């Protein structure tokens, strides 16, 4: 295991630098501001595809280049992560990623969804029903780039909690510690106390939603609160963050995907 982690970490360094040198800044980096990033989704073919959730963004959530909150870092963040996943694992998949709304029945073709900036997420009734069904059917959701209420006027956890009450009124989110299997699913993450921050203040908080609120059962949602792990993926190869910190963020992303695919 130790040897595999060492080799994989070296691959992270190589893959991140190579990808950064390609200059593929994606639709969001090319945008002049104010427009919604667009993409053409890959048709479902049975292979793993990374799916980012789109949603109605609340007023105040268009601060980055005028883009809706759900699109921050798109598509560069997940394209870099998918390259790492392809390099260090045997998961067959696509480097191109998809965007889907929760009210789109296409979400049920995929085992894993990714949603960010949920402080600005306004869920609809149809989306709430579909998300509940997705979770009940065994789907896994990664929540990332999630700020506190002090960040640019958003409501922080309160907004997310209000949305999730409409999805699953009985849901209880529990704090996770290093003993949970997701932190050792592929890479060994030894401590959460020193997990790198891109620009958030304080320590990141990792929370989870479990089947029947039982921490001994399957994790349904993995929430990275007061942190922005995807910022390291997006900036990979640009020299803006230390490589060792970027590696830790990639490890967490790979672990979360492998957990979602195998549970």
What's the CATH code of the domain at 30? 3.40.50.12140
Query: What pLDDT does residue 19 have?
Result: 41
| Distances 139 to 27, 29, 108, 190, 261 between C-alpha atoms, Å | 28, 31, 8, 27, 9
Q: What is the mean pLDDT of residues 157-161?
A: 96
In tens, the pLDDT along 171-181 reads 999 999 999 99
pTM for the complete prediction? 0.87
pLDDT at site 235? 92
pLDDT of residue 196: 80
Min mean pLDDT across 3-12, 79-88, 153-162, 233-242 is at 3-12
Distances (CA, A) of 142 to 9, 13, 85, 139, 206: 22, 24, 16, 10, 11
Where is average pLDDT lowest: 89-93, 101-105, 130-134, 223-227?
89-93
- Please state the separation of Cα 72 from the chain's center in Å: 11
At residue 35 the predicted structure's pLDDT band, cuts being 50, 70 and 90, is low
Across 38-67, average pLDDT: 90
- Per-residue pLDDT, 34: 55
| Residues 9 and 246: beta-carbon distance below 8 Å | no
Mean pLDDT of 82-105: 93
More confident residue, 74 or 93: 74
Q: For the segment 110-146, what is each residue's pLDDT rounded down to a tens digit?
A: 999 999 999 999 999 999 999 999 999 999 999 999 9
Kindly tell me if the per-residue pLDDT of 25 is higher than 70. no
Give the domain extent around 68. Answer: 2-262
DSSP bridge pairs for 54: 101
For residue 242, name the pLDDT band (cuts at 50, 70, 90).
confident
Task: Please report where in the chains the tokens 């970027």 appear, as a residue.
Answer: 246
Query: Region 215-223: what's the mean pLDDT?
Result: 98
First to last CA, the chain: 21
**Per-residue confidence band for 27, with pLDDT thresholds at 50, 70 and 90:** very low
- pLDDT value of position 29: 35
Total domains present in the chain: 1
Pick 145 or 27 by higher pLDDT: 145
What was the pLDDT predicted at 40?
87
Residue 11 pLDDT exceeds 60: no
């Amino acid at each position: 295991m130790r040897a595999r982690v060492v080799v994989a970490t070296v691959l992270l360094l190589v893959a991140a630098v190579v990808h950064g040198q390609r200059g593929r800044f994606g639709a969001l980096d090319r945008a002049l501001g104010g427009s919604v990033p667009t993409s053409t989704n890959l048709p479902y073919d049975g292979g793993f595809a990374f799916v980012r959730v789109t949603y109605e963004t609340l007023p105040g959530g268009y601060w980055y280049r005028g883009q809706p909150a759900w699109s921050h870092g798109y598509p560069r963040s997940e394209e870099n992560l998918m390259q790492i996943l392809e390099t260090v694992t045997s998961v067959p998949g696509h480097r191109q990623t998809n965007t889907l709304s929760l009210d789109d029945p296409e979400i049920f073709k995929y085992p894993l969804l990714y949603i960010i900036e949920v402080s600005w997420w306004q869920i609809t009734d149809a989306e709430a029903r579909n998300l509940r069904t997705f979770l009940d059917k065994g789907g896994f959701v990664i929540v990332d780039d999630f700020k506190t209420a002090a960040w640019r006027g958003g409501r922080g956890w309160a907004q997310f909690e209000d949305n999730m009450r409409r999805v699953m009124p009985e849901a209880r989110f529990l704090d996770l510690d290093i003993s949970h299997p997701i932190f050792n699913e592929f890479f060994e993450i030894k401590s959460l106390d020193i997990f790198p921050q891109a620009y958030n203040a304080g320590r990141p908080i990792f929370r989870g939603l479990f089947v029947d609120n039982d921490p001994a059962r399957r994790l349904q949602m993995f929430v990275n609160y007061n942190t922005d792990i995807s910022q390291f993926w997006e900036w990979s190869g640009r020299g803006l963050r230390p490589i060792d910190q970027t590696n830790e963020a990639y490890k967490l992303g790979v672990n979360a995907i492998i957990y979602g695919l195998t549970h």
